[in-house]
Amino acid sequence: MNGAGVLARHQNEYARAEGLHRDGLVPARELGDRSIFAACLHNVGWNAIRRHEFSEAQALLEEAVSVARAAGIEVAKWSR
């Protein structure tokens, strides 16, 4: 669902993208896929920035970084 959310965002379908990213959180958590879970959190966080919900965005992005680091993902790559 994360990939579909990215595609929707690139098509300027922001509400649909956010829904897909949020929907991707549940199966990623249930399957223990911390990489996808972190990516979904990251994308939901960026959607919150787009909506000017900066406190929500900060919390989501901080959680995404925490999950990613715990999974051994190099977080610096996200900024490129």
The answer to whether the beta carbons of residues 36 and 28 sit under 8 Å apart is yes
Domain boundaries, the chain: 2-79
Residues in the chain: 80
52: number of Cβ within 10 Å: 8
Interval 34-77: pLDDT, tens:
999 999 999 999 999 999 999 999 999 999 999 999 998 887 76
Q: Does this model's pTM top 0.75?
A: yes
- Specify the CATH number of the domain 2-79: 1.25.40
User: Is the predicted pLDDT of residue 26 greater than 70, yes or no?
Assistant: yes
Checking phi first, is residue 13 left (phi over 0); if not, alpha (psi -120 to 50) or beta? beta
